[in-house]
């Protein structure tokens, strides 16, 4: 259990790093708000009041947390295996299309059969889509970073074709599936809000991912492969298997996010299912230090930011895209923490130089 | 056979091929400098978007494309210096830095676009750069549409192909870039400042990508749209692999991608029977095929993607 202890000892430092990065990003965000001519305090107050200050706001934030957390968990597992799978966006779309198709085709089935069937098909579809990049990497050594991004574009066009064609609601004019019957929808948890059972799926997924990483041999192998592939090979581990698991887990979880958006929010498959959840989730995974519970916390923070930003725009006149800036800055500050000793060195050198100068003139 | 060469539809296809190849050619030429110096510039996409935005705003404010293009290159270069700070000085994971910088570019450009132009529905436009009139030259078979129906920026981009070859193969700076990319320790021993060379290479790299992005807003569309680069920076990375990081190879690969893009544009009008979404996928699918076919073939600089740590005296 040595490694476990080492990780636990490291955890507070990791957490402090994440918190510091978030605070620094918010500070820069405040400067940008001030540049617009608005008081940062007013703008941030409007933002968090809207996201967390009421039952409905909190419910909306939790609804937004679901896709970010599920995609983030998948990306975190892939990162742990050393796989830079940035294809969650496409995997989410493919999963949503599968869930929508099964949901429409299975209308009339009881909820207890239909919902699991939709979820399972979404996970299989997402994993299969991610599996394409896995095969390309393992068989052809094609870099997954580029292939998964390209597959995102392909997936979005493919889903668009399906929604204009085979999956289109025959009684509607828009490119979307027919509306799901109530048996194909995730139950609402809090009356009067849109909070749906997807948040429970997130909690279960996070616990399972945690147990997998820290309590299963397979999860241990995954982490070793991600940390040091050569060491894993020397220890006789099946590196290709761990890499494949990283790809498939990411695809399945992103596909599940697609299911949750279809069955919990949209109640049908639509063309613009995601405004880039799969990309934001990359930052979520990094901010959460690729630990499952950290990922859920990071997803909640970014969800609050996104939900509150709309209100901030209408109340304070700050463009809501400020959130995208803050999200990106969080990562830059997170990976830039190594600069702190460098800056310290530079300041010390500057101090020395000034002191020498002072001695000379004295 | 000759009839095909002078066919107006074919001529239109050729001229579109070159037009669509220019942005990715510039980004890929940029990527060449960074990769030959051993730095994987995943930030090409973000640098392109930055260039597209700064170029557009400058042209909108000054009305001059001659001012807008250098501004876009400078903005891309600045983007590159920030990226180099992470990738070279801090030795951070170059893929993570690149992705993060690209996401920041999406946020910053769309934030300032709304700040400057508001969120209104009528989108500000600038007059796009038009190709000069070459008269009868434009009707020459093959060469006419490929060259003499293009704007000035395309000529600049094409001129950068031999220039890049010259810089990399025949100058001291180019030699340093190659040395640092293949064996930074040996280069350092011989007195080459690895950090400085890599900073320079990444700044040039992102500056050229910024130029490529500016061609999208200044010449191709006359508007700025959120995320208008649509993955071209990543496609440029595939072009580098296909073109084996050689300027001429990169030109050929960029033309191939331009042709794929032009083909899907043409085919959308023609009654091919294929759903248009499948045509839209073409450049992305081609990228994947290229990566699968050529990725394992080697030819990459030995130190590509590996941060360099100077040997400490202690």
- At A4 the pLDDT is 40
Mean pLDDT score, A192-209: 96
Cα→Cα distances B12→B133, B144, B265, B277, Å: 16, 10, 11, 22
The reported pLDDT for the residue numbered A7 is 44
Q: What is the mean pLDDT of residues A284-299?
A: 93
Q: Mean pLDDT over residues A279-286, rounded?
A: 92
As a whole-number percent, the residues of chain A with pLDDT over 90 amount to 65
As assigned by CATH, the class of the A59-330 domain is mainly alpha
Residue B39: pLDDT over 90? yes
Range in B10-19, B160-169, B175-184 with the lowest mean pLDDT:
B10-19
pLDDT of residue B298: 61
Q: Could you tell me which chain A residue has the CA closest to the CA of B238?
A: A146
Tokens of B171: 């100058």
CB-CB: which of B99, B110, B280 is closest to A321?
A: B110
B169 Cβ contact list (under 8 Å, min separation 6): none
pLDDT, average across residues B132-148: 80
* Predicted pLDDT of residue B199: 97
CB A92 within 8 A of CB A252: no
Whether residue A36 lies within 8 A of chain B, CB to CB, comes out as: yes
| Assembly ipTM | 0.85
Q: Which of A143, A321, A335 sits opposite B291 (nearest CB)?
A: A143
- Name residue, tokens 């705003």: B57
Chain A CB contacts of B277 below 8 Å = 157-158, 160-161, 164
Mean pLDDT of B256-282: 84
Q: What would the mean pLDDT of A323-327 be, rounded to a whole number?
A: 88
* Chain A residues within 8 A of B278 when measuring between CB atoms: 157, 161
Q: Provide mean pLDDT across the span A96-106.
A: 96
Judged by DSSP in three states, A196 sits in strand
Give the C-alpha separation, A54 to B256, whole Å: 55
- The DSSP bridge partners found for residue A196 are A188
Mean pLDDT of chain B: 89
As a whole number of angstroms, the distance between CA A304 and CA A321 comes to 14
Q: Which of B103-117, B128-142, B173-187, B280-294 has the lowest mean pLDDT?
A: B128-142
Residue A5 has a pLDDT of: 41
- Is the predicted pLDDT of residue B304 greater than 60, yes or no? yes
User: What is the pLDDT, as a whole number, of residue A105?
Assistant: 95
Residue A189, pLDDT above cutoff 50: yes
Identify the residue among B84, B284, B286 best suited for mutation to test binding to A, counting A beta carbons within 10 A and taking the highest: B284
According to the model, what pLDDT value does residue A34 have? 92
Residue B117 CB-density burial (10 A; 0-12 exposed, 13-18 middle, 19+ buried): middle
Q: Which residues of B touch A153 (CB under 8 A)?
A: 230-231, 281, 284
**Spatial contact of B185 and B67, defined as CB atoms under 8 Å apart:** no
Distance CA B82, CA B98 (A): 10
- Most A CBs within 10 A among B41, B277, B293, B297, hence the mutation to make, goes to B277
Q: For residue range A155-166, what is the model confidence (pLDDT) as tens digits?
A: 999 999 999 999
Pairwise CA distance, residues A167 & A172, whole Å: 11
Q: Which two tokens stand for residue B245?
A: 């990081």
The share of chain B scoring above pLDDT 70, in percent, equals 95
Residue from A141, A148, A154, A312 whose CB has the most chain B CBs within 10 Å, to mutate: A154
What is the sign, positive or negative, of the torsion defined by CA atoms of B203, B129, B136, B6?
A: positive
A275 touches chain B (CB under 8 A): no
Q: Report pLDDT digits (tens) over A55-92.
A: 999 999 999 999 999 999 999 999 999 998 999 999 99
Confidence (pTM)? 0.88
pLDDT digits (tens, 9 = 90+) for B57-113: 999 999 999 999 999 999 999 999 999 999 999 888 888 889 889 988 998 999 899
Which of B91, B104, B287 is the closest to A329 by Cβ? Answer: B104
Those residues with Cβ within 8 angstroms of residue A292's Cβ, 6 or more apart along the chain or in another chain? A73, A76, A205, A206, A207, A209, A210, A213
The total of other beta-carbon atoms located within 10 Å of residue A55's CB is 11
Question: What's the distance, Cα to Cα, between the start and end of chain B in Å?
Answer: 72
Q: What is the rounded average pLDDT for all residues in chain A?
A: 90
User: Domain residue spans in chain B?
Assistant: 2-297
The rounded distance, in Å, linking the Cα atoms of B236 and B184 is 25
Average pLDDT, integer, range B117-142: 81
Mean pLDDT, range A180-204, rounded to an integer: 94
**Domain range annotation of chain A:** 59-330
Query: Nearest-CA distance from B235 to chain A in Å?
Result: 8
Q: Give the count of Cβ contacts less than 8 A between chain A and B.
A: 133
Query: How wide is the angle at C-alpha A181 spanned by C-alphas A176 and A183, nearest 5°?
Result: 130
What is the band of A36 on the pLDDT scale with cuts at 50, 70, 90? Answer: confident
Tens digits of residue pLDDT in A220-232: 999 998 888 888 8
Contact yes or no for A324 and B99 at CB 8 A:
no
- Helix A40-52 and helix A292-316: axis angle, to 10°? 120
Q: Provide the token pair at B134.
A: 């070459």
Is the per-residue pLDDT at A12 higher than 60? no
Between residues A70 and A234, the one the model is more confident about: A70
d(Cα A300, Cα A278) in Å, to the nearest integer? 15
In the predicted model, what is the mean pLDDT of residues B29-55? Answer: 96
Cα gap A313→A135, rounded to integer Å: 44
Contacts of A158 in chain B (CB under 8 A): 277, 281
Radius of gyration of chain B (CA): 20
pLDDT at B46 over 70: yes
Determine the residue among B96, B119, B305 to mutate to test chain A binding: the one whose Cβ has the most chain A Cβ atoms within 10 Å: B96
Distance between CA A14 and CA A287 in Å, rounded? Answer: 9
Token representation of residue B16: 């579109």
Interface touch B111/A342, C-beta < 8 Å: no
Find the largest Cα–Cα distance for chain A: 92
For residue A6, the model assigns a pLDDT of: 44
| pLDDT above 90 (res B129) | no
Nearest chain B Cα to A86, which residue? B99
At B2 the pLDDT is 65
CATH of domain B2-297: 1.10.3470
Residue B295 clears pLDDT 90, i.e. is over it: no
Q: Cβ B288–A336 below 8 Å, yes or no?
A: no
CA distance A248 to A260: 18
Higher pLDDT: A293 or B294? It is A293
Burial class (CB in 10 A: 0-12, 13-18, 19+), B2: exposed
Contacts 24+ apart (CB under 8 A), A37-41: A38/A316, A38/A317, A38/A318
């Amino acid at each position: 259990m040595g490694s476990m202890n080492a990780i636990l000892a490291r955890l507070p430092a990791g957490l402090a790093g994440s918190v510091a990065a978030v605070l620094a990003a918010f500070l820069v965000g405040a400067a940008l708000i001030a540049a617009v001519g608005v008081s940062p305090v007013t703008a941030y107050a409007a933002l968090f009041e809207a996201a967390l200050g009421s039952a409905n706001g909190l419910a909306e934030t939790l609804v937004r947390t679901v896709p970010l957390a599920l995609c983030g968990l998948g990306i975190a597992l892939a990162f742990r295996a050393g796989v830079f799978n940035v294809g969650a966006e496409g995997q989410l779309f493919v999963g949503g299309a599968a869930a929508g198709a099964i949901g429409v085709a299975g209308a009339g089935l009881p909820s207890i059969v239909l919902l699991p069937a939709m979820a399972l098909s979404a996970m299989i579809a997402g994993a299969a889509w991610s599996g394409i990049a896995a095969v390309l990497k393992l068989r052809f050594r094609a870099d997954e970073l580029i292939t998964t991004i390209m597959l995102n574009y392909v997936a979005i066009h493919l889903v668009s074709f399906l929604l204009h064609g085979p999956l289109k609601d025959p009684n509607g004019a828009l490119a979307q599936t027919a509306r799901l019957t109530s048996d194909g929808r995730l139950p609402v948890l809090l009356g009067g809000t849109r909070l749906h059972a997807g948040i429970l799926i997130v909690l279960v997924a996070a616990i399972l991912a945690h147990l997998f990483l820290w309590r299963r041999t397979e999860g241990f192998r995954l982490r070793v492969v991600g940390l040091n592939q050569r060491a894993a090979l020397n220890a006789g581990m099946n590196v290709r298997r761990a890499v494949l698991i990283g790809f498939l887990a990411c695809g399945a979880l992103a596909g599940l996010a697609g299911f949750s958006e279809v069955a919990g929010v949209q109640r049908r498959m639509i063309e613009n299912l995601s405004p880039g959840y799969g990309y934001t989730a990359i930052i979520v995974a990094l901010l959460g230090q690729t630990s499952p519970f950290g990922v859920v916390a990071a997803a909640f923070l970014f969800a609050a930011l996104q939900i509150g930003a709309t209100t901030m725009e209408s109340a304070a006149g700050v463009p809501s895209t400020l959130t995208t800036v803050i999200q990106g800055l969080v990562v830059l500050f997170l990976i830039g923490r190594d600069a702190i000793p460098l800056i310290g060195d530079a300041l010390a050198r500057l101090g020395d130089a000034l002191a020498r100068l002072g001695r000379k003139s004295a | 056979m000759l009839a095909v060469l002078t066919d107006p539809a074919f001529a239109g296809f050729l001229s579109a091929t070159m037009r669509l190849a220019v942005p990715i050619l510039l980004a890929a030429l940029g990527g060449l400098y960074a990769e030959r110096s051993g730095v994987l510039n995943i930030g090409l996409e973000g640098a392109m978007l930055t260039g597209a935005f700064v170029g557009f705003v400058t042209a909108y404010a000054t009305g001059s494309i001659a001012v807008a293009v250098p501004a876009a290159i400078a903005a891309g270069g600045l983007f590159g210096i920030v990226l180099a700070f992470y990738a070279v000085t801090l030795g951070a994971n170059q893929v993570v830095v690149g992705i993060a910088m690209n996401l920041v570019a999406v946020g910053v450009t769309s934030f300032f676009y709304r700040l400057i132009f508001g969120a209104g529905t009528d989108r500000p436009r600038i007059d796009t750069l038009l190709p000069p009139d070459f008269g009868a030259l434009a009707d020459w078979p093959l060469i006419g549409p490929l060259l003499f129906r293009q704007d000035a920026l395309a000529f600049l981009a094409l001129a950068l192909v031999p220039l890049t070859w010259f810089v990399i193969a025949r100058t001291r700076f180019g030699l340093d870039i190659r040395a640092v990319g293949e064996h930074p320790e040996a280069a350092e021993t011989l007195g080459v400042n690895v950090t400085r060379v890599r900073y320079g290479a990444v700044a040039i790299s992102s500056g050229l990508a910024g130029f490529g992005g500016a061609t999208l807003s200044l010449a191709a569309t006359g508007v700025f749209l959120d995320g208008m680069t649509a993955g071209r920076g990543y496609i440029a990375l595939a072009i580098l692999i296909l073109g084996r990081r050689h300027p001429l190879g990169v030109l050929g690969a960029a033309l191939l991608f331009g042709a794929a893009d032009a083909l899907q544009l043409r085919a959308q009008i023609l009654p091919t029977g294929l759903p248009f979404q499948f045509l839209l996928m073409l450049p992305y699918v081609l990228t994947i095929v290229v990566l699968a076919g050529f990725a394992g073939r080697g030819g990459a600089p030995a130190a590509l993607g590996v941060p360099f740590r100077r040997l400490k005296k202690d």
